[in-house]
Structure 1
Amino acid sequence: MNDSIKHAFALGEKENFNPNEKQILIVDKVCREVVKRHLAMPAILLLETFRPLNYIGSQVMHFFQPIISAVLTVDGYTDFTELLEQRGSVDYFCERIRDIEEEGQKSSIVDR
């Protein structure tokens, strides 16, 4: 019995996380906006705080998709929700925010 339901609620390993091209573009766009607005630290804190709930959040986003599609365009919405379903997505977001922030700091040092 235990073997049959062992992986019933498995979300996958974060080491196997591999975003597709659309998801990479979406994450980069979001992370660049976060860094541009100087919200890197609050964003990382928020992501780390809600890490256990990222899958549930993606399911809520799927639930509201019909309503949102009536109001907004949903070009990247589905890709974004599918990205959040994966376990390594929070780590990926935090990494990209840190990388983009470091790029900005290096370019500001060079500009001086």
Structure 2
Amino acid sequence: VDFTDQERALVERLSRIVVRRRLAAPALMALESARPLSFIGSQFLAFFGPLLNMAFSKSETDLLIRLLERRHSLDLVIDTINRQEDERIG
């Protein structure tokens, strides 16, 4: 699955926020359990977009929502969080 550079950069940024706050384990558990509902989850994010806009710009929030509508996008997010958490631990 191909992701744009902009999508990959956004996932990197989101993952950094999660890992920096030491929330990798709960985030990964939530993402894995929500995998069958990823499209519904993206619509849930659309509803709570104003909250996301506190950490991301409107265009980044829209991009994140569109990204999560795609089937394999959760794999990218999960893999990126895992990689960054491994780097943090050393």
TM over 0.5: yes
Partner residue in 2 for 1:25:
9
2:70 equivalent to 1:86: yes
1:97 is the counterpart of 2:81: yes
* TM-score normalised according to structure 1 size: 0.67
Which amino acid in structure 2 is aligned with residue 38 of structure 1? R
Mapped contact 2:34–2:41 kept (Cα < 8 A): no
Q: Match of 2:70, SS?
A: coil
Structure 1 distance, partners of 2:25, 2:44, is: 25
Rounded to whole Å, the distance in 2 between the matches of 1:75 and 1:35 is 23
CA contact (8 A) 1:83 1:89 kept: yes
Residue 101 of structure 1, CA deviation: 1.0
In proportion to residue count, which structure has more helix?
A: 2
Change (3 A) 1:38 1:60: closer
Unaligned 5+ residue runs, structure 2? none
SS of 1:95 mapped into structure 2: helix
Distance apart, 1:82 and its partner CA: 1.1
Instruction: Say which one has the larger Rg.
Output: 1
Runs of 5+ unmatched residues, structure 1:
1-16, 107-112
Which structure 2 residues correspond to residues 8-19 of structure 1 after superposition, within 5 A?
17-19=1-3
Structure-2 separation of matches of 1:41 and 1:61: 20
**Corresponding residue pairs, total:** 86
8 A Cα contact 1:22 1:76, kept in partner: no
Give the one of 9, 25, 49 matched to 2:33.
Answer: 49
Q: Write out per-residue CA displacement over residues 31-76 of structure 1, whole angstroms, 9 at most, x where no aligned residue.
A: 01111111111100000011111111223444x38x73xx864120
- Superposed CA RMSD in Å reads 2.1
- The percentage of aligned residue pairs carrying the same residue is 33
Q: TM-score, normalised by structure 2?
A: 0.81
Instruction: Describe the SS at the equivalent of 1:50.
Output: helix
